[in-house]
Structure 1
Amino acid sequence: MPAIISIAGLGKTYKSGFTALKNINLDIQRGEIFALLGPNGAGKTTLIGIVCGIVNPSAGTVLADGHDIVKDYRASRSKIGLVPQELSTDAFETVWATVNFSRGLFGKPADPALVEKILRDLSLWEKRDAKIMTLSGGMKRRVMIAKALSHEPSILFLDEPTAGVDVELRRDMWNLVRGLRENGVTIILTTHYIEEAEEMADRIGVISKGELILVEEKHQLMRKLGKKQLTLQLQNPLTQIPAGLSDYALELSADGNELIYTFDTQAEQTGIAALLRRLSEQGIDFKDLHSSESSLEDIFVSLVRTNA
């Protein structure tokens, strides 16, 4: 099946000479949740802006559901819903009016039943007659999502969708995202809440200084780049790591009471068994052990730091 978004050789350089994007190549598959991670100023919002037709590219091509975003702007834009990072709504309009108006902007006929369903799914139905200016920040964010969904897009961009949203509303939003994906909508999101990307995304892309430095299926990424640590609480403290253990990646805690073994998640578990045998041979006893694993945030920080 062809990608629903296909980006080839995409670049953006502003008149000031600043290069925001460099030779981006990326295919996003239909029906997936793709998380785009990167530090502030990395180019995430510029990339989204180009795909959505808000920013003009300097080089390269972008196809949205088969439509060139430059040559066939109206057709490509009709396939895309965008929830921008900034809250920009019609302050004096009601929730019902602004969502219906957004649908009309795309030439879609009125569909009160659809708009009602969207508002109910976003827990906005009770606020349908409220003016936007009276809503909380979290509710305004929901209105932005409702507007983006009003013309029934097959691609939905969420740029920091849960910024300023409390925990309960955030959970509701992610349930909605799961429901949209089940109905065939492709979701592309940027987020500072990396634990959400870890929970929700099918694939992860990391962008740094305008370059896409990694695109990987989430579970493969965790396996390939993740690290595990085994911490052994020693029966008797050590002053140094014995020479007989020098071929293991071991660290000794400052008080000498813990040995910390760091290993690749792809490494065989037999390596741990061999280490424990070696400790026994060295006369080193331990009274407890526990393991921990790298989070996606650890991997992200490591990737960005390496690319700095």
Structure 2
Amino acid sequence: MILVFGSTGQVARELRDILPDARFLSREEADLADPAACGAAVRRLAPEAVINAAAYTAVDKAESEENVALAINGEAPGAMARACAELGIPLVHISTDYVFDGTGETPFSTDREPAPLGAYGRTKLAGERAIAEAGPSHAILRTSWVFSAHGSNFVKTMLRLAETRDTLNVVSDQIGGPTSARAIAAACRTIAGQLMAEPGKSGIYHFSGAPNVSWSFFARAIFKAAGKDVVVNDIPTSDYPTPAARPLNSRLDCASLSAFGLQRPDWEMDMNAVLETLGAKP
């Protein structure tokens, strides 16, 4: 049995479809704000592997709630990892491109020194380091720009705005790889299965959709595929200030995925599948 932390988030919802026999823990069953409870749940249920698909993801709110974000993103994964190490089982943990500072135009490699810009990135990095320190067989899967038919994400936001707007200003100087939650879930399943048989594959991996594009390019692709007549104006990040700084370069070097026989997913194909699910295709 695979144990999944998270039950309603984007990736967890997709994992429910592809891992019907997994055990999913909701916030009521294991609140990540209570790290000890998370470790206790792993020990009590004694699964074959753990996937952590839960996190504090409110990037801007984290600037004023860093202690809460740290408990959920940093301390709870560490508690899970210590329990996994005791049981000799692997942990697959989803992390983020926000552990980097977003400088330059070169894709960030897995061995690039992290330098997060804000609280969210700092707390996610703390989780990565806590897992590595605990020492279980693990895969830290950094990803970016997650979208799906569930929850709040860029695709759904663009579709909602298209109902009342015929022109939108969208940031054009942040570049990254949009990544479907479905593709992330499938990668987690593959990685967990291989780590059970080959624990030596432990490490940090990058997983993002291809090709890399800007948010404004992504928006135009969404509107075109959904048959929405919306004009997208390119604007710089400086014209759209937010409490938390966003990395301009979210490109991830995903070459290490070959260790699991994985490659970068085609985000446009996955986007079209999400639009079909939402009934948003013309």
Q: TM-score, normalised by structure 1?
A: 0.25
Larger helix share, 1 or 2: 2
Which has the higher Rg, Structure 1 or Structure 2? 1
Q: TM-score, normalised by structure 2?
A: 0.27
Larger strand share, 1 or 2: 1
